[in-house]
Amino acid sequence: MRAFVITRYKEEPRETEVPEPVVGEGDVLVRVEAAGLNQLDEKTRVGEFKQILPYKFPLILGNDVAGTVIGVGTEVRGFKPGDRVYARPGKDRIGTFAERIAVSEADLAPTPSSIPMTEAGSLPLVALTAWQALVERGSVGPGQKVLVHAGSGGVGSIAIQLAKHLGAHVATTASASNADFVRELGADTVIDYRSQDFEQVLDDYDLVLDSLGGKNLEKSLRVLRPGGKAIGISGPPDPDFAREIGLNPLLRLAITGLSAGIRRQAKKLGVTYEFLFMRADGDQLRRISALVDAGELRPVVGRVFPFEQTPQALRALAEGGIRGKAVISRT
């Protein structure tokens, strides 16, 4: 089958023929019809996570898929050929920039019935990230104050909508040109990151979802109320993450050192910092599908590229400026 692969870090993906996916007893074989692009794809390509998420080459990139079931393993009971499905495959089984992919049944869910495949393909990773940050980690509820950075981006555009659905007052950072757009998504307070300093405008927040890291994350700690929480999805990784993915003691020590500074700052301020590397979860995707079909969440697709332009799509993602998600379509 055709797929876009890299044979070493930092090289541009190239189209080539690869073996068909191996379908295990609990796997579902999916014909890929749409694949969302994420910053994780670019970070994987350049080797940013190679110490903690090592991959073997040749590597097929891609962390989002929407498509049609064309085969099932002998132990699969919840899906059959012809079903429309979507998923964020497990971190060890990525590879959606291809014609077909085998996905664990546990990671898969029916697509929302109200949207086309391109929109379904944009959702899994960003929607699961927002869900695990706001619902699972943050326990966001009515009356709380949530700051979502980069509100016009892939994660931000979904996180704003989900936080608003959960009853929170939502602030976000965005460019002036995207201010009306993020307000339409549900943002109550919009900070123009080019002309305003969010730290000087906001305070007493319950939760910050930070996708930028660095100085932005440090400043985010200072807008939290005592007991508040900052959740970072760009890093630095923390000791809990190192334990969760089973790193060896030496790497655990290194990870602990990477986040020591930000955790120390958080402790002094009476707040907490957690790193989130979202995990695949079909059950959570089913709940997200229900919210989409109820009109509570809407996917935001900024650009659609044909499958043959996957390398160009990745370059466009790295350059920035795409509102919501970019998606590769095979339909």
pLDDT of residue 249: 87
Report helix, strand or coil for 219.
helix
How far, in Å, CA of 123 to CA of 103, rounded?
A: 16
Asked if the domains at 2-123+299-329 and 126-275 fall in one CATH topology, the answer is: no
pLDDT of residue 54: 86
pLDDT of residue 37: 98
Q: Where are the domains of the chain?
A: 2-123+299-329, 126-275
Residue whose token pair is 């132990």:
75
Residues in the chain: 331
Could you tell me how far CA 102 lies from the centroid of its own chain? Answer: 20
For residue 318, the tally of other CB atoms under 10 A from its CB is: 14
Instruction: Provide the percentage of residues in the chain whose pLDDT is more than 70.
Output: 100
Q: What single letter denotes the amino acid at residue 282?
A: G
Neighbouring residues of 167: CB distance < 8 A, sequence distance ≥ 6: 140, 141, 142, 143, 144
Task: For 195-227, write each residue's pLDDT tens digit.
Answer: 999 999 999 999 999 999 999 999 999 999 999
**What are the CA-CA distances from residue 243 to residues 55, 90, 93, 252, 256 (Å)?**
19, 17, 20, 7, 10
How far, in Å, CA of 69 to CA of 19, rounded?
A: 18
Give pLDDT tens digits along the chain (331 positions).
Answer: 999 999 999 999 999 999 999 999 999 999 999 999 999 999 999 999 888 888 999 999 999 999 999 999 999 999 999 999 999 999 999 999 999 999 999 999 999 999 999 999 999 999 999 999 999 999 999 999 999 999 999 999 999 999 999 999 999 999 999 999 999 999 999 999 999 999 999 999 999 999 999 999 999 999 999 999 999 999 899 999 888 888 888 888 988 898 999 999 999 999 999 999 999 999 999 999 999 999 999 999 999 999 999 999 999 999 988 999 999 999 8
pLDDT of residue 51: 81
Q: Which fold has domain 2-123+299-329?
A: Quinone Oxidoreductase; Chain A, domain 1 (3.90.180)
Structure token digits, residue 311: 């390398």
Question: Pick from 123, 124, 90: which is nearest to 104 by CA?
Answer: 90
Q: Is the pTM of this model over 0.75?
A: yes
Using an 8 Å Cβ cutoff, are 94 and 60 in contact?
yes
Return the CATH architecture of domain 126-275: 3-Layer(aba) Sandwich (3.40)
Using an 8 Å Cβ cutoff, are 32 and 96 in contact?
yes
